Amino acid sequence: MENFQPWAQPWWVNLLILIPLIAFVSWRGKELQFTRGQLVLMAIFAVAFGFVEAAVVVYLRAATGLLPGYHGTLADVRRAAPNLSVQEKALQEFPSSLLTLEVFREAATMIMLVSMAVLAATKWRERCAAFVWAFAIWDITYYLGLWATVRWPASLTDLDVLFLIPVPWVAQVWFPLLVSGLTTMAVLWSAGVGRGKVE
């Protein structure tokens, strides 16, 4: 924990920690109207999408030369990748043409998650809940997918570029995992799952 950094950059990224609290407080008066099946289907979508996102990042790292051992087997990549501080080098060495494409890919990701939320519910509060539910599971799966394939992050204190719009958001991996974990709990509790009220 000697490399632990409590703050994300820029400063306003730290406000993301309020999302689970705001969600919980907003939804506590009346339970979210989701069935267990709806939550499961949204989670399946988010898990699949999170793994696709992890695979795209692996391909981008390989394409830009930031992924050591990628010409060998997956085992070769797993052995070499954790030893390289990829995220710290990524923004410095990432080609500007691909950086532009990456910004558009991130925007497309948000559009897909919003679209799923709009299709999943008819009321505004449930659509918001569906979005944060899917986003949180997608985010957790993204990191699990990266770790399963290339053994990155090697530690929860590894730095990551979380997002590029409108400027790069940088934090240690524990931060988005904490926000996403708390968000999933807020949705589950607000939907009555923790209290056995969801069908």
Is 115's pLDDT higher than 60?
yes
Report the alpha-carbon distance of residue 134 to residue 132 in Å, rounded.
6
Highest mean pLDDT among 75-89, 129-143, 145-159: 129-143
Report the alpha-carbon distance of residue 28 to residue 71 in Å, rounded.
51
- pLDDT band of residue 169 (cuts 50, 70, 90) is very high
pLDDT confidence of residue 84: 47
Domain locations in the chain as residue ranges = 32-194
* Pairwise pLDDT comparison (113 vs 199), residue with the higher score: 113
Report the alpha-carbon distance of residue 125 to residue 122 in Å, rounded.
9
pLDDT confidence of residue 139: 98
Exposure class string for 132-164: b at 16+ Cβ within 10 A, else e: bbbbbbbbbbbbebbbebbbbbeeeebbbbbbb
pLDDT confidence of residue 104: 93
